[in-house]
Structures are given as structure tokens and as C-alpha cells.
């Protein structure tokens, strides 16, 4: 099958003379739809975001294949409380000649309906082209002598969507457009079903007509206002039954849904014009208390301002507008405990909210490398605001009602991100005022002991945590009480982060003044002890790298798990390494040999008996494979940095690192891209037997740390280029 996706604009110009001008009206991707590309278009996904945690998502074919696909998912309590406000619209085009005789009647939208064992796809007007720009998606249809475009944009920092229609064709015909909105108006995770035995099937919904034909629809989870300009509305409540979502079926989840139709809109265009235009607007009505305080402005100006600041020090990165937009998709507001507005980072679209670990791993790439220092400090303060017993939350409930603290590494990533902020900004005042005390609280809690059995071992200073029933590291898959990747005890990256955090905090506190002299002396003593213990404890006997985890027995004798996993890279990639140069080189060599792929690193060597090379099937099967061989793109970041550090940032290493990032970036913009302008969460560990150039992606179609590590390493390479 020939590739369906191609660049619609030239690749970014890089170098000191790079232009920052971006044509926001131009498509960045174009897929010409024909029998050879239709299957690929059904598998190619896109996402648009609104800066609040809301989004729109779908396929290039316009066929919804997930419960999360829709034209407007609104965050009613940013960035949480996400509601599917507008799943889809069904459009019909009716064309008549001057005498009123019908020429044709066609439907635009394509839906899959569940009919017993099979699915049916009703005939629709032929889709001939899909396009995606930086802030829009557009479908072009052809019927008879008429061309119809449907362009979707989201309001920036507003919970609204606009679908603009343009119908071009001979002027001697009359044209009528009928638009029927379809909605769930409930939690975006949940599917709706009509009780067909109920005498009052619409009791969960109310529809009210307001001035100029605006329809206000109240549902079980939210209220949405709908209008078509020009046009008139007709209230005609109905249910559309049995929408089929193929991706949900593949994931072993409920995959059939009924949607509510409040009525329809019509607009009639008389003969005499060759172009007819109309715009459908959907606005989720939210509580003003939950609204952001920042005044909305054009997203174009927002991105241009980021580019301008970045161009002073990183002109190559500044010219990559696509990357900066991808990064910006994840940065959203969050409200602190005192009610003030701050910032956070969403872990991924469509289903993740902000997770402490993901936020802090992503922060250096999304915010520091792009010189968004105010947002970086705000995100750090959001994490510090939720600190409890020295622990940064693992995640927040989707409802926003509570935080879960079952993580050992999020707090250590906070130390790293806070010190990286200080290093990038030299902002002694903000570090002292907002970050120093939370950092010291974390160190004190880990040294003396805190929740989840997290504590420094008094025998060697290394951090131990958890028990066989917990999942506290980033390899945290668990279902029905089964922990699929047990890593309690002393995990290698936890202790690499602990050592690096102690050294980094010692350096940061020393630079801000003498008021922390006692603490810096203690930090140095603790770090020296960890350094002397680390390599003897973790060095592997079966390969040239280091062990993944040390497990305790009942007598607290430690046994090593020498499984080859990527976690050992953090003992090399972080600025302060506790390993000898020879052992650092060994870690990079074994990871390159066993784990490296073009799109990231495997989570387990294929030679291991528990390796699983396919991430597919029901959720339990996916959880079992999640960290047992599945490839994660974000791990390319620590691999690239470890490669550069062990080669002392040589010219050859910089070229090799850049080529690795080029290949990864092709997953966002190349001919085989399956998430246009974004990076997936995971890929299969095994190659795709159907396409040797391609590895099958899965998980979230847009993952923050995947994008963040690509950007961070781009900036790292640029900062070490000669001249």
C-alpha cells in the first residue's frame, strides 16, 4: 500500500537564519482518500486541544473508532471533569434545480453501526481528502458537481468547537444543508445506552430553543449550546442506536453506544452563488467559578511568542513550530489549594490527566527547553502544593476530589526538575522562596522513612520501597491485585535519581547562599555514601550493565534481578552518575544491543523468558505486556543523553544522536505517521510483519513525555553544537 500521509509544507528551516513565520492556514498533512488509502486513513488519528484540558479527536477518515473520538470534549473543571459534549454531526446535502426538482441528496458523515456480529457502514458522500493544520482538521467531499469542505477548529482556552462548511458548485442550483448533532453529554470515559423499554427515553436530556434558533441541550453531565449560522433549528429529540467503536472492541471493552440527537439545523441557499458557507458552533456551558482567569487570545500569537523567546538561544528548535505546538498541547491550568490558578502537564490524550511522575519527567522538555520558565515554576509549585509526607501525588482523580500518592519516583523527579529549573534560570529568589523547602522535605522524608515503606537503608544509604503487593515505580501495571512487574526493594533508577537529587540539591543550595550550609553538608555526606554503595550493589554479573532491582528476603539479604531493562540508563544519563566510566559504557552497550529500536527502547530484552513483543488484546493482556517488552518512545531521551555523556558529546555522537531523533520525529510527520503531529505512548516490541518500515503504535495517541524527551534532546544537541 502506498503511503497516504505526506508533508503538505516543507520541512522546517533550521540554523541561525531560520524563519519563524508559520502559515497557520496551510495544512501540515494531507491524505488523498482512495481505495488504496482508505484503510490507512481509518487507522490514522489526530487530536486538537484547547489549552484547558479539552480536546477533539478522531480519524482521518472521519469514522469514530473510540469512545473518546468526538468534535468537542470539554474540561468542565480544568483540566478535569471532561465531558463528551459533541460526539459527531450527521450532515445531509440536498440539491435542487431552479424548478425545484431534486438533483441529489447525500450524507457526508461516516458511521459504523453494530448489527449483530457485523458492523455496517452506510453509504456516504465520497471523501476525497483529509487535511490537518496546526490548529484545524478539514475533510473535503465530492458529490456530483459539488465540493464540500468541513473544517473543525476548537476555541483557544474556551470550551467550544466550530465546524465550518463550504459548499462550492454551479450557481444555478439551490442547496440545503441539514446538520444533526449527536451527543453523549456525560463523562468522556463512559458510553451511553438508551433503555428502549422506557416510556420516557429522553428523561435524562432537555432541549430548549433560544433566540436565533440556538438549542441549549442539558444532559446527565453537562449542558451544551448549539447553533448554525446562518440557519434555523428544529427540536426533534431522538436516539441513534448502536454506534460501533472498533478500537474499544480490540481493547476488550464495551464498544457499542447509543447517542442522543436533540434535533437538527437547516440552512437553504438560493440559486445565484457558487460558494455557500455556514458554521455550526458548540459551546459547553461551564460554571464560571471553574473558568480560567487568563484572557483568551489567539493561539498563533501564543506560539509565536514562545518561538521568539526561544530563537535567542535555540534557533533550530524555535523553527520547529510543529514540535512547539505538540508540546503546548499538554500544558494546561490547575487550581491550587488556595484557589489560585497555576499550571500543570497532562500525561496524555485521550485518557490521562496530570500524573506527578509524568509532569515532572516532561517538564524539562516541554517547559525548560522551550524557555517557558513562568509555566515551569507554576507547574513545580502545583506539585509542591500537593506534597504530603514528602510525596508528590502519583495522580489525581478525574473528578478532582482526591490525590493518590502510590509512587516512589515522583518526588525524586521533583528534585531533578526543581534543580533543572534553577540551573536553566539562575533564579535564586524563586528557588529559595518556592522550591528549596519542598526539596528538603522530600530528602528528609526519604532519609528517615515515609509512606509505602519508602526509606533509606541505614546500612548503605540506598532507597528501598514497597513490598510484593505495591507498584511504586514507573513500571506500575497492576490489575485485579496482580502486579505484573514487581520492583519493590531497591530499584536501580530510584537510587540513580536519589544520588543525582542529593548532588543537584547540594549544588543548588550552595549557589543560592550560605543560609543552607548545614543542609548542604548533610546532603554531601549522604551523596558520598550512596555513591560508594551504588556500583558494588548493582553491578551485574551476567552482562556488562547493572541490575534492575535488588529484592530483600525475610532476613534482609539482597538478591539481584539482572534482567536487562532500560531503567539502568538513568545511572548514566543524569548529570551526576554514581558509576565508573567503564560501567557507564557497559550500560549503554547492553541497552543498545538488547533494547534499542527506531522508535524508543524495549522495556525488557527479547531474550528474557517473560518478554512479550505485542501490546494488544484485552486490558489484562495489555497490562501484562506494558513493561515486559513494549517499546516506550520517551526512553529514547535517557538513551540519547547517556550516549552523549559517555562519548563526551563528541561530533560523531552528536550526529548519531541527531539521527535517532530524526527517525523518531518521522513518527509524527512521516509517511507512516499514525498520530499526526504527535507521538504515541507505546509501540510493539516486535517489528510489524506486515510493514518492515513500521512498528505498530498503541496506547495514548499523544503522550507528554514522548514529545518532551524528543524536544529536550533536540535542545541538548543544539547546545553542544560547535559555534
In three state form, how does the secondary structure of 157-208 look?
CCCEEEEEEEEECCCCCEEEEEEEEEECCEECCCCCCCCCCCCCCCCCCEEE
> What 8-state DSSP symbol labels residue 450?
B
Could you give the CA distance from residue 60 to residue 373 in angstroms, rounded to a whole number? 35
Query: What domains are there in the chain, each with its CATH number?
Result: 36-290 (2.70.98), 585-723 (no CATH)
Which residues, at least 6 apart from 197, have a Cβ–Cβ distance to it below 8 Å? none
Tell whether omega for the bond before 335 is within 30 degrees of 0, i.e. cis. no
Residue 692 confidence class, pLDDT cut points 50, 70, 90: low
Q: Among the listed ranges 291-295, 383-387, 413-417, 433-437, which one has the minimum average pLDDT value?
A: 291-295
Across 79-89, average pLDDT = 95
**120-155: b or e for each residue (b if 16 or more CB lie within 10 Å)?**
eeeebbebebbbbbbbbbbbbbebeebbbbbbbbbb
> What 8-state DSSP symbol labels residue 125?
P
Output the 3-class SS for 317-351. HHCCHHHHHHHHCCEEEEECCCCCEEEEECCEECC
Summarised one tens digit per residue, pLDDT across range 539-562 is 999 999 999 999 999 888 999 999
**96-118: b or e for each residue (b if 16 or more CB lie within 10 Å)?**
beeeeeebeebbbbbbbebeeee
Across 5-14, average pLDDT = 41
Q: Can you give the pLDDT at residue 15?
A: 44
- Sheet with 697-698, strands from edge to edge, namely 596-597, 600-602, 631-632, 682-683, 697-698
Share of the chain above pLDDT 70, in %: 93
Summarised one tens digit per residue, pLDDT across range 211-260 is 888 999 999 999 999 999 999 999 999 999 999 999 999 999 999 999 99
Could you give the CA distance from residue 76 to residue 55 in angstroms, rounded to a whole number? 12
Could you give the CA distance from residue 419 to residue 649 in angstroms, rounded to a whole number? 22
Confidence check: pLDDT of 19 > 80: no
Could you give the CA distance from residue 283 to residue 154 in angstroms, rounded to a whole number? 10
Q: Among the listed ranges 101-110, 582-591, 612-621, 625-634, which one has the minimum average pLDDT value?
A: 101-110
Task: Using the structure block, give the residue that is written with the C-alpha cell 558520598.
Answer: 528
Closest CA to 490 of 552, 399, 438, 405: 552
Summarised one tens digit per residue, pLDDT across range 349-365 is 999 999 999 999 999 99
Inter-residue contact 78 to 292 (CB < 8 Å) = yes
Q: Can you give the pLDDT at residue 96?
A: 94
Q: Pairing between strand 395-396 and 403-404?
A: antiparallel
Which residues, at least 6 apart from 367, have a Cβ–Cβ distance to it below 8 Å? 331, 345, 373, 375, 376, 379
Q: Can you give the pLDDT at residue 403?
A: 87
Q: Considering only CA atoms, give the Rg of the chain.
A: 27
Q: Among the listed ranges 242-251, 327-336, 542-551, 683-692, which one has the minimum average pLDDT value?
A: 683-692
Q: From its phi and psi, is residue 498 left (phi > 0), alpha (psi between -120 and 50) or beta?
A: alpha
Inter-residue contact 20 to 307 (CB < 8 Å) = yes
Output the 3-class SS for 368-411. HCCCCHHHHHHHHHHHHHCCECCECCCEECCCCCCEECCCCCHH
Residue 122 confidence class, pLDDT cut points 50, 70, 90: low
Closest CA to 206 of 190, 189, 183, 228: 183
Summarised one tens digit per residue, pLDDT across range 586-628 is 999 999 999 999 999 999 999 999 999 999 999 999 999 999 9
Q: Can you give the pLDDT at residue 203?
A: 85
Inter-residue contact 571 to 546 (CB < 8 Å) = yes
What is residue 76's three-state secondary structure?
strand
Confidence check: pLDDT of 1 > 80: no
Q: Can you give the pLDDT at residue 297?
A: 64
Could you give the CA distance from residue 679 to residue 675 in angstroms, rounded to a whole number? 6
Q: How far apart are the first and last CA of the chain?
A: 44
Half-sphere exposure of 229 (CA within 13 A, CB side): 8
What is residue 533's three-state secondary structure?
helix
Q: Can you give the pLDDT at residue 294?
A: 52
Q: Which one is predicted more confidently, 111 or 283?
A: 283
Q: Is 338 exposed, middle or buried (0-12, 13-18, 19+ CB in 10 A)?
A: exposed
- Taking CA atoms, 163 is separated from 127, 180, 494, 562, 663, in Å, by 16, 12, 48, 55, 34
Q: Can you give the pLDDT at residue 291?
A: 55
Across 450-470, average pLDDT = 98
Inter-residue contact 163 to 108 (CB < 8 Å) = no
The pTM for the full model equals 0.94
Across 137-155, average pLDDT = 96
Confidence check: pLDDT of 567 > 80: yes
Which alpha helices (DSSP H) does 426-566 contain, by range?
Answer: 428-430, 436-448, 492-512, 517-538
Amino acid at each position: 500500500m502506498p503511503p497516504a500521509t505526506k508533508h503538505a509544507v516543507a520541512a522546517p528551516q533550521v540554523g541561525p537564519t531560520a524563519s519563524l513565520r508559520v502559515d497557520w492556514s496551510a495544512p501540515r498533512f494531507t491524505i488523498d482518500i482512495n481505495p488504496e488509502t482508505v484503510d490507512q486513513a481509518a487507522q490514522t488519528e489526530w487530536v486538537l486541544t484547547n489549552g484547558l484540558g479539552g480536546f477533539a479527536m478522531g480519524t482521518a477518515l472521519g469514522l469514530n473508532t473510540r469512545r473518546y473520538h468526538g468534535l468537542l470534549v470539554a474540561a468542565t473543571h480544568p483540566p478535569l471533569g471532561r465531558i463528551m459534549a459533541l460526539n459527531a454531526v450527521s450532515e445531509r446535502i440536498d440539491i435542487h434545480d431552479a424548478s425545484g426538482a431534486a438533483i441529489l441528496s447525500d450524507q457526508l458523515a461516516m458511521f459504523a453501526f453494530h448489527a449483530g456480529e457485523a458492523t455496517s457502514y452506510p453509504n456516504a458522500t465520497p471523501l476525497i481528502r483529509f487535511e490537518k493544520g496546526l490548529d484545524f482538521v478539514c475533510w473535503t467531499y465530492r458529490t456530483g458537481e459539488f465540493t464540500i469542505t468541513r473544517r473543525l477548529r476548537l476555541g483557544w482556552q474556551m470550551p467550544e468547537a466550530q465546524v465550518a462548511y463550504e459548499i462550492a458548485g454551479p450557481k444555478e442550483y439551490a442547496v440545503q444543508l441539514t446538520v444533526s448533532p449527536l451527543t453523549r453529554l456525560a463523562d468522556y470515559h463512559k458510553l451511553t445506552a438508551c433503555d428502549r423499554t422506557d416510556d420516557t427515553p429522553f428523561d435524562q436530556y432537555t432541549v430548549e430553543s433560544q433566540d436565533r434558533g440556538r438549542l441549549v441541550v442539558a444532559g446527565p453531565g453537562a449542558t451544551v449550546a448549539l447553533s448554525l449560522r446562518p440557519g434555523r433549528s428544529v427540536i426533534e429529540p431522538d436516539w441513534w442506536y448502536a454506534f460501533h467503536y472498533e478500537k474499544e472492541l480490540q481493547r476488550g471493552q464495551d464498544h457499542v453506544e447509543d447517542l442522543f440527537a436533540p434535533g437538527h439545523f437547516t440552512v437553504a441557499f438560493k440559486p445565484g452563488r457558487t460558494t455557500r458557507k455556514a458554521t455550526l458552533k458548540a459551546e459547553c456551558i461551564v460554571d464560571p467559578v471553574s473558568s480560567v482567569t487568563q484572557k483568551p487570545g489567539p493561539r498563533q500569537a501564543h506560539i509565536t511568542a514562545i518561538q521568539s523567546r526561544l530563537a535567542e538561544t535555540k534557533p533550530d528548535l524555535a523553527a520547529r513550530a510543529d514540535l512547539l505546538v505538540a508540546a503546548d498541547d499538554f500544558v494546561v491550568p490547575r487550581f491550587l489549594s488556595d484557589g489560585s490558578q497555576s499550571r500543570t502537564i497532562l500525561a496524555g490524550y485521550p485518557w490521562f490527566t496530570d500524573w506527578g511522575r509524568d509532569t515532572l519527567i516532561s517538564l524539562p522538555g516541554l517547559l525548560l527547553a522551550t524557555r517557558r520558565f513562568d509555566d515551569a515554576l507554576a507547574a513545580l509549585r502545583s506539585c509542591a502544593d500537593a506534597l504530603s509526607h514528602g510525596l508528590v501525588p502519583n495522580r489525581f482523580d478525574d473528578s478532582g476530589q482526591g490525590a493518590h500518592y502510590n509512587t516512589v519516583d515522583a518526588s525524586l523527579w521533583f528534585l531533578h526538575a526543581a534543580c533543572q529549573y534553577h540551573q536553566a534560570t539562575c533564579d535564586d529568589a524563586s528557588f529559595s522562596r518556592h522550591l528549596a523547602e519542598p526539596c528538603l522535605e522530600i530528602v528528609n522524608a526519604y532519609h528517615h522513612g515515609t509512606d509505602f515503606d519508602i526509606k533509606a537503608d541505614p546500612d548503605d544509604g540506598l532507597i528501598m520501597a514497597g513490598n510484593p503487593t505495591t507498584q511504586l515505580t514507573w513500571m506500575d501495571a497492576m490489575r485485579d491485585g496482580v502486579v505484573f512487574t514487581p520492583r519493590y526493594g531497591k530499584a536501580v533508577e530510584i537510587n540513580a535519581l536519589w544520588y543525582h537529587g542529593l548532588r543537584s540539591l547540594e549544588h543548588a543550595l550552595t549557589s543560592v547562599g550560605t543560609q543552607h550550609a548545614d543542609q548542604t553538608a548533610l546532603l554531601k555526606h549522604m551523596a558520598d555514601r550512596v555513591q560508594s554503595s551504588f556500583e558494588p550493589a548493582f553491578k551485574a554479573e551476567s552482562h556488562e550493565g547493572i541490575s534492575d532491582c535488588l529484592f530483600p528476603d525475610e532476613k534482609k539479604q539482597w538478591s539481584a534481578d539482572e534482567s536487562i531493562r532500560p531503567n539502568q540508563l538513568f545511572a548514566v544519563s543524569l548529570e551526576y552518575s554514581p558509576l565508573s566510566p567503564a560501567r557507564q559504557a557497559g550500560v549503554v552497550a547492553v541497552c543498545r544491543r538488547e533494547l534499542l529500536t527506531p522508535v524508543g527502547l524495549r522495556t525488557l530484552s527479547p531474550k528474557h523468558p517473560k518478554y512479550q513483543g505485542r501490546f494488544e488484546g484485552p486490558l489484562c493482556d495489555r497490562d501484562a505486556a506494558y513493561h515486559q517488552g513494549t517499546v516506550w518512545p520517551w526512553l529514547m531521551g535517557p538513551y540519547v543523553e547517556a550516549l552523549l555523556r559517555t562519548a563526551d558529546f563528541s561530533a560523531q555522537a552528536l550526529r548519531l544522536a541527531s539521527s535517532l531523533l530524526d527517525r523518531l520525529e518521522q513518527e509524527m510527520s512521516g509517511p507512516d505517521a499514525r498520530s499526526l503531529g504527535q507521538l504515541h505512548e507505546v509501540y510493539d516490541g516486535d517489528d510489524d510483519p506486515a510493514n518492515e518500515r513500521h512498528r505498530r503504535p498503541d496506547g495514548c495517541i499523544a503522550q507528554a513525555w514522548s514529545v518532551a524527551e524528543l524536544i529536550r534532546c533536540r535542545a541538548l544537541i543544539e547546545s553542544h553544537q560547535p559555534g
